[in-house]
Structures are given as structure tokens and as C-alpha cells.
């Protein structure tokens, strides 16, 4: 009888230990799931696509996207998107594009990437990570949004009437500013050392080894100015 009681006691202890280890494993698993994304990516954002080659994701609605580098657990790009916007991670050309516009070119590489999406407006909605982190000259209004960035060829087609600023990041200076209308194409072409607006060369000096940003701010409709 004593042997049976001892055996039951041993089994009870084993059951308790198994439960403890089971809960511990579950806790570790949950912690692992929470830690699989950079801290800047909210828990409400869902992973949509992952890979080390070219990734393309089309936003199903307006919201916020985050492109992350899985290996370094860092955010490569974050910004607001609208329904139908196509986000492409293009490691062969070292860039990320949104709706056909280059929005990031720094350190893309062939590491594994993830694209996260959160519908609706988040606390970070409307901001571009690269634009928020990049220092801009005082001449560029804070209301101007980053439309393109890179040390290689960058092209931006104006989404509306407004003003563009082309900035040399290293010098933190504006190398070109001017009015544009909807559809105007601004092209930075370091291979030919020029900046063109609708194919017409400007006086801006373009250097091959310099990173540049294009900022755009839409014009204020006089009817809604007040």
C-alpha cells in the first residue's frame, strides 16, 4: 500500500512539473512571437509576405505598412498607404518603391524581409520613417513629405500641383526647388550629372557619390485656405 502511495505521489509531482514546463514553454513561445518584429512595428500589424528575393504587396485598404529586415530586426521603411498602392522590395536594385515611387534605397540587400500591414490610421500613420529620420534643411517645410530617396537614379511623378525640393543629404542643402503640376516628372540622374523636369535639364549639380531626397508638398487650394 505504501508503495502505491509513493508511486501516486511521484506521478502527481511529475504531472505538476509537466504542467509547469508546459506553461513555461507556452510563455517562451508567446515571447518569441512578440519578439519576432522590431519594436517600431505595432502588435496590431500583421505580417503579409516574407522572403529574400523581390517582394510585392498591394494594400487592400488605406493603412500603414512596415518593411522590415528580419536578420537585423530593423525597419527599412514605414509609411502610409492607400488602397491599391503597390509596395515592392527590390533587392537587385537596392530599393523599396511605393506606388511606383522610390521611397528607400539604403541597405536593402538580399537579407530576408517582411512586409507588415495595419489597416486604418495608426499613431505613425502619415509618416515616412526615412523622411522622419532624415535631417532636412530649414528651407524644406515640415509639411513636405519624402517622395524619393537614393544615391542612384531617382524619379518622382508629381501626384498633384505643388512644390518639390531636391536635397543633398550629405551637405544638408537644397540643390533644387520649384513648382510642379500633376504629372510632372522629376528625375535625378547621377550617371549624366543632371536633374531634369519633364526632360528639361535644370542647373542643379548632381554628384555620383551623394545621397539625395525629393520632398513634395501639395499646393493649398485657395478655396480651402481659410
pLDDT tens figures, 69-109: 898 888 888 888 888 888 999 888 888 888 887 887 766 77
Give me the phi and psi of 121, to 5 degrees please: -95, 125
**Where is average pLDDT lowest: 124-138, 176-190, 208-222?**
124-138
- Give pLDDT, residue 11: 52
The angle subtended at Cα 140 by Cα 138 and Cα 103, nearest 5°, is: 125
- Give pLDDT, residue 176: 95
pLDDT-derived band at 221 (thresholds 50, 70, 90) equals: low
pLDDT-derived band at 196 (thresholds 50, 70, 90) equals: very high
Taking alpha carbons only, the member of 59, 66, 61, 63 closest to residue 42 is 66
Mean pLDDT of 187-206: 88
- Give pLDDT, residue 95: 86
pLDDT digit string (tens) for 99-140? 887 887 766 778 889 999 998 754 443 444 444 444 688 899
pLDDT digit string (tens) for 6-60? 555 545 544 544 444 444 444 434 444 445 788 888 888 888 888 888 888 988 8
Given a contact cutoff of 8 angstroms between Cβ atoms, the answer to whether 186 and 197 are in contact is yes
Q: Is the pLDDT of residue 162 over 90?
A: yes
Mean pLDDT of 206-226: 73
Given a contact cutoff of 8 angstroms between Cβ atoms, the answer to whether 69 and 110 are in contact is no
- Max distance between CA atoms of the chain, in angstroms, equals 100
With a threshold of 0.75, does the pTM exceed it? no
Q: CA 152, CA 52: separation in Å to the nearest integer?
A: 22
More confident residue, 189 or 153: 189
Q: CA 141, CA 203: separation in Å to the nearest integer?
A: 22
Any residues with CB less than 8 A from the CB of 136 and at least 6 apart, and which?
Answer: 144, 167, 172, 213, 215
| Other beta carbons within 10 Å of 221 | 8
Q: Which percentage of the chain shows pLDDT scores above 70?
A: 73
Amino acid at each position: 500500500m505504501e508503495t502505491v502511495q509513493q508511486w501516486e505521489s511521484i506521478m502527481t509531482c511529475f504531472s505538476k512539473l509537466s504542467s509547469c514546463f508546459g506553461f513555461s514553454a507556452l510563455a517562451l513561445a508567446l515571447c518569441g512571437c512578440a519578439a519576432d518584429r522590431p519594436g517600431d512595428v505595432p502588435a496590431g500589424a500583421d505580417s503579409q509576405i516574407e522572403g529574400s528575393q523581390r517582394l510585392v504587396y498591394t494594400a487592400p485598404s488605406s493603412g500603414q505598412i512596415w518593411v522590415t529586415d528580419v536578420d537585423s530586426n530593423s525597419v527599412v521603411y514605414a509609411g502610409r498607404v492607400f488602397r491599391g498602392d503597390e509596395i515592392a522590395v527590390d533587392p537587385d536594385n537596392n530599393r523599396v518603391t511605393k506606388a511606383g515611387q522610390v521611397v528607400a534605397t539604403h541597405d536593402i540587400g538580399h537579407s530576408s524581409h517582411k512586409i507588415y500591414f495595419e489597416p486604418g490610421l495608426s499613431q505613425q500613420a502619415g509618416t515616412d520613417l526615412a523622411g522622419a529620420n532624415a535631417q532636412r534643411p530649414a528651407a524644406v517645410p515640415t509639411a513636405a513629405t519624402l517622395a524619393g530617396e537614393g544615391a542612384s537614379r531617382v524619379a518622382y511623378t508629381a501626384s498633384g500641383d505643388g512644390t518639390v525640393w531636391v536635397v543633398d543629404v550629405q551637405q544638408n542643402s537644397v540643390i533644387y526647388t520649384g513648382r510642379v503640376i500633376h504629372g510632372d516628372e522629376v528625375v535625378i540622374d547621377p550617371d549624366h550629372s543632371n536633374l531634369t523636369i519633364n526632360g528639361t535639364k535644370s542647373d542643379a549639380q548632381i554628384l555620383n557619390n551623394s545621397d539625395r531626397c525629393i520632398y513634395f508638398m501639395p499646393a493649398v487650394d485657395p478655396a480651402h485656405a481659410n
